[in-house]
Amino acid sequence: MNTLKQTLFLLLVLVFSGVSKTIAQSTGVYVGGHIRRDRPGTIEKLRNSGFTYIILFNINVEPDGTLTTDGETVCKDGKYVFGNTQPNYVSDIKKLKQAPTTISRIEICIGGWGNESFSRIKELINSHGVGSGTILYKNFKALKNAIPEIDAVNNDDEYCYDVATAVKFHQMMYELGYKTTIAPYMNRSFWENLVSQLGDRCDRVLIQCYDGGAGNNPSDWHLGNRAVHAGRMNYQEGGVDACVAQMESWKKNNGVSGGFIWLYNDETWNLNQWATRMLRVFGTKKCDDCIASLYADSDYRGYSKSLGEGSYTQADLAMYGISAKDISSLKVTKGFKITLYENADFTGNSKSWTTDASFVGGDWNDKACSVRIEPNGKSGLSGNFKIMNRNSGKYLDLD
């Protein structure tokens, strides 16, 4: 590539960067020990899924303040020791946020049905406080230092319900760099009191609408100005269709701004299919200067999304609500070319179109996982060019 072409390419990247509008974190999933047992495949599936936040289930607090998960020690005596048994865990969790990915927030869950962590937290705080010399402080600091990508702690207290020590605990966690979210299914007065005292340290309510919380109405769980996300289980009756229909109703009638799923702990369900369908409910990315349109069904039917010039991995497509292996027809502006790729990262078999296709053909129907949209012209560049910055309106002349 000659110097002029290199310069033009870099300038075009600057000019068009940020054209696609970002979206809020609106789709979440709880993740069990399966993330470790079946790595690295689970990591890649989550990165390409369309879920914008994940909650690692779970961190247990033992009576002496040691942090454990699935019977393995995570932090003890103020040191991160999980690497002794899970040497890939730190790099795996860090990778969840590395582009290309749909994940922009990671939380750890404390609690759950029958879990006594918050009772132990209560005893530890009442005995030792929450200062920097306490074992609770030291162990959660060690975890944060090892994996700073963890953004928040998800409180799923279903056992203790002590407001005073819960407030102190989450204030301590905030000092360490952890925001708070809550996952109630009952005892509204406790959660209302907790959230009120935490203020902006708590930024989201994840109301359980399954199992013990199956009868919950999300409208009843608007606590202050916190976003309310409502959850279902992946194995609830009706599958993804029933889940999406319920979330559409919650958004329309109950002021819900996002949804989450319990639980990714096996491969019995398709993360990408569920997450992209949920994004269509709560809001996908949108493009300016659209060049091509992709359709889920033949003859330009089904879910469709228009895209601008660029390269789109499976993760990128997911943020537009486009599921992997779900493209059957397409339209492309004259002078441009669209290429479908078999794999998530522009590898494997590929095929290009320069005109509309009411059906991509049996060999490509529901096969594409990544896409490129680019000019279909000569590669040589010469002459004078005037580049305009879309944001400032200023021009740059090139000879």
Residues 250 and 302 in one domain: no
- What is the predicted pLDDT for the residue at 24? 79
Q: What is the pLDDT of residues 116-126, one digit of tens each?
A: 999 999 999 99
Beta-strand pair 258-264/290-297:
unpaired
| Shared-domain flag, residues 176 and 128 | yes
Strands 258-264 and 227-233: parallel
As a three-state string, the secondary structure of 81-93 is CHHHCCCCHHHHH
pLDDT, tens digit (0-9, with 9 covering 90-100), for 48-88: 999 999 999 999 999 999 999 999 999 999 999 999 999 99
> Quick check: is 84 in a domain?
yes
**Omega within 30 of 0 (cis) for the link into 265:** no
CB 75 within 8 A of CB 66: yes
Reported as a single tens digit per residue, the pLDDT across 185-217 is: 999 999 999 999 999 999 999 999 999 999 999
Report how many domains make up the chain: 2
Distances (CA, A) of 142 to 25, 64, 79: 27, 16, 5
pLDDT of residue 377: 78
- Cα distance between residue 166 and residue 370, in whole Å: 45
CATH of the domain at 349: 2.60.20.10
Residue 359 and residue 329 in contact, taking contact as beta carbons nearer than 8 Å:
yes
Q: d(Cα 259, Cα 229) in Å, to the nearest integer? A: 5
Omega prior to 40 cis, within 30 of 0: yes
Whether residues 141 and 171 share a domain: the answer is: yes
Spatial CB neighbours of 366, under 8 Å, sequence gap ≥ 6: 325, 326, 327, 328
**Shared-domain flag, residues 256 and 313:** no
217 within 8 A of 253, measured Cβ to Cβ: no
Round to whole Å and give the CA distance between 399 and 396. Answer: 10
DSSP 196-212: HHHGGGEEEEEEE-SGG
Instruction: Decide which of 282, 310, 333 is a domain's last residue.
Output: 282
Residues 221 and 319 placed together within one structural domain of the fold: no
pLDDT digits (tens, 9 = 90+) for 277-295: 999 999 999 999 999 999 9
- Tokens 């879309």 locate to 390
**What is the chain's mean pLDDT, rounded?**
93
Is there a domain that residue 11 lies in? no
The structure tokens 């021009």 sit at 395
Burial class (CB in 10 A: 0-12, 13-18, 19+), 37: exposed
Residues 333, 276 share a domain: no
Task: List the Cα angle 231/235/236 in 5-degree steps.
Answer: 65
The verdict on 278 and 311 lying in the same domain is: no
Report yes or no on 208 lying in a domain.
yes
- Within 10 Å of residue 346's Cβ, how many Cβ atoms? 17
Which residues constitute the domain of residue 261? 26-282
Is 393 part of any domain? no
H or E stretch at 169: helix 163-175
User: Is 43 in the same domain as 66?
Assistant: yes
Q: What is the pLDDT of residue 19?
A: 37
Give the domain CATH number at 149.
Answer: 3.20.20.80
Same domain, 227 and 348: no
Report d(CA 10, CA 195) in Å as an integer: 47
Q: What is the mean pLDDT of residues 375-391?
A: 62
Q: Shortest CA distance to 371 belongs to which of 293, 303, 302, 298?
A: 293
Choice between 65 and 10, residue whose per-residue pLDDT is larger: 65
For the whole model, what pTM was predicted?
Answer: 0.90
Q: What is the pLDDT of residues 35-48, one digit of tens each?
A: 999 999 999 999 99
Structure confidence at residue 14 (pLDDT): 37
The region of weakest confidence among 11-20, 263-272, 300-309, 354-363 is 11-20
pLDDT of residue 396: 65
As a whole number of angstroms, the distance between CA 162 and CA 146 comes to 29
| pLDDT higher than 80, residue 362 | yes
pLDDT at 23 over 80: no
Kindly state whether residue 10 falls inside one of the protein's structural domains.
no
Same domain, 276 and 345: no
Structure confidence at residue 299 as a pLDDT band (50, 70, 90) = very high
Burial class from Cβ neighbours inside 10 Å (0-12, 13-18, 19+) for residue 73 reads middle
Whether residue 278 is found in the same domain as residue 138 = yes
Amino acid making up residue 332 = V
Question: If you average pLDDT over residues 127-141, what whole number do you get?
Answer: 99
Cross-sheet strand order for the sheet of 329-332: 301-308, 290-297, 329-332
Shared domain for 186 and 328, answered yes or no, is no
In a domain, 95, yes or no: yes
Give the CA-trace dihedral at 189, 190, 192, 194, to 10 degrees.
160
Question: Over 70: is that where the pLDDT of 380 sits?
Answer: no
Identify whether 149 is part of a domain: yes
